[in-house]
């Protein structure tokens, strides 16, 4: 079952158009040919391996976006673009299905561990500033200018940049300075987009449980409530980034938290539908 059930409309060119781009607000089960509240059987092992198919458009340590990253309805009349890091890619299946259903072209460009915000970030693997990310971001701006008019731009990103942003000297920053740097970096990137600028939405980070649910549920099938975690403990790990983004004019923040929770507990959706968030802050394809 798709976890998204509410419709969301925006004004485009003076008329209402379905924003088939924000998965937690726009998709319905019927969009995938499934009755509402249906259950799709999936083992925990299958869920752990159920990753999005990006056709090579989610890159790692790249300096240029690819050319053939068009999804959705390739002959559609509206254009939507999904960009960001690997967290952006786990929204691709939902957006692709919605774009096909509603006749939108969907372009997708992602680079792992590389934020859209123009800020220096520390690359843990390389143990240095991620300079390749800056080059890729510049080439992304070029690529977006080649697409033509973009109706909606969707940005996905991890909460972990709160620990990785550095100043111009490569040093960590205080929370106040970090928040200001993220706001400035996001604003700077958006200012580089072609005019007229698209409507912009940032999908906030999903809850960060700090455990692998496929393992936890696998060990506790008879008593899955052992894997429950209080919403207040793991929701909104990206608070600092979201505060900065909330102060950017004409940017919409989309919160997917309710898709993962009942009133208070994480894993209720997973236990009911045999679909679980993947470890390492990513979600399964079918969950989206």
Secondary structure (H, E, C), the chain:
CCCCCCCCEEEECCEEEECCCCHHHHCCHHHHCCCCCCCCCCCHHHHHHCCCCCCCCEECCCCCCCCCCEEECCCCCEEEEEEECHHHHCCHHHHHHHHHHHCEEEEEEEECCCCCCCCCEEECCCCEECHHHHHHHHHHHHHHHHHCCCCEEEEECCHHHHHCECCCCCCCCCHHHHHHHHHHHHHHHHHCCCCCCCEEEEECCCCCCCCCHHHHHHHCCCCHHHHCEEHHHHCCCCHHHHHHHHCCCCEEEECCHHHHECCCEECHHHHHHCCCECCCCCECCCCC
Q: What is the pLDDT of residue 132?
A: 96
Q: Which two tokens stand for residue 37?
A: 């509240």
Indicate if the pLDDT at residue 117 is higher than 80.
yes
Q: What is the pLDDT of residue 263?
A: 53
List of domains in the chain: 9-273 (3.40.50)
pLDDT, mean over the chain: 78
CB 233 within 8 A of CB 280: no
Minimum mean pLDDT among 70-79, 183-192, 274-283: which range? 274-283
Pairwise CA distance, residues 119 & 189, whole Å: 10
Q: Where do we find the tokens 């929770």?
A: 261
9-61 pLDDT tens trace: 332 232 233 333 333 333 322 333 333 344 455 565 655 554 556 677 878 88
- Indicate the pTM of the whole model: 0.79
Q: What is the pLDDT of residue 42?
A: 57
Q: Where do we find the tokens 């509240």?
A: 37
Q: Which two tokens stand for residue 9?
A: 């409309």
Pairwise CA distance, residues 133 & 107, whole Å: 19
């Amino acid at each position: 079952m798709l976890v998204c059930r509410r419709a969301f409309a925006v004004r485009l060119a003076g008329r209402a158009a379905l924003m088939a781009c924000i998965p937690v607000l726009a998709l319905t089960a019927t969009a995938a040919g499934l009755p509402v509240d249906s259950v799709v059987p999936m083992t925990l092992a299958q869920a752990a391996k159920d990753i999005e198919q990006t056709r090579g458009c989610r890159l790692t340590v790249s300096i240029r976006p690819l050319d053939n990253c068009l999804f959705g309805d390739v002959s559609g009349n509206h254009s939507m673009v999904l960009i960001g890091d690997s967290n952006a890619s786990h929204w691709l299946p939902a957006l692709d299905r919605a774009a096909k259903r509603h006749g939108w072209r969907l372009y997708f460009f992602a680079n792992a561990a590389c934020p859209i915000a123009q800020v220096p970030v520390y690359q843990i693997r390389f143990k240095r500033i991620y300079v390749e990310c800056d080059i890729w971001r510049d080439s992304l701006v070029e690529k977006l200018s080649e697409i033509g008019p973009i109706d909606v731009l969707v940005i996905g990103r991890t909460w972990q940049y709160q620990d990785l942003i550095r100043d111009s000297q490569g040093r960590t920053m205080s929370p106040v300075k970090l928040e200001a740097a993220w706001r400035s970096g996001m604003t700077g990137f958006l200012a580089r987009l072609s005019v007229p600028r698209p409507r912009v939405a940032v999908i906030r980070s999903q809850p960060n449980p700090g455990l692998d649910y496929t393992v936890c549920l696998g060990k506790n099938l008879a008593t899955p409530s052992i894997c429950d975690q209080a919403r207040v403990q793991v929701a909104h790990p990206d608070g600092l980034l979201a505060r900065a983004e909330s102060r950017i004019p004409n940017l919409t923040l989309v919160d997917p938290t309710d898709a993962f929770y009942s009133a208070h507990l994480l894993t209720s959706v997973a236990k009911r539908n045999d679909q679980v968030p993947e470890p390492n802050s990513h979600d399964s394809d079918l969950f989206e």
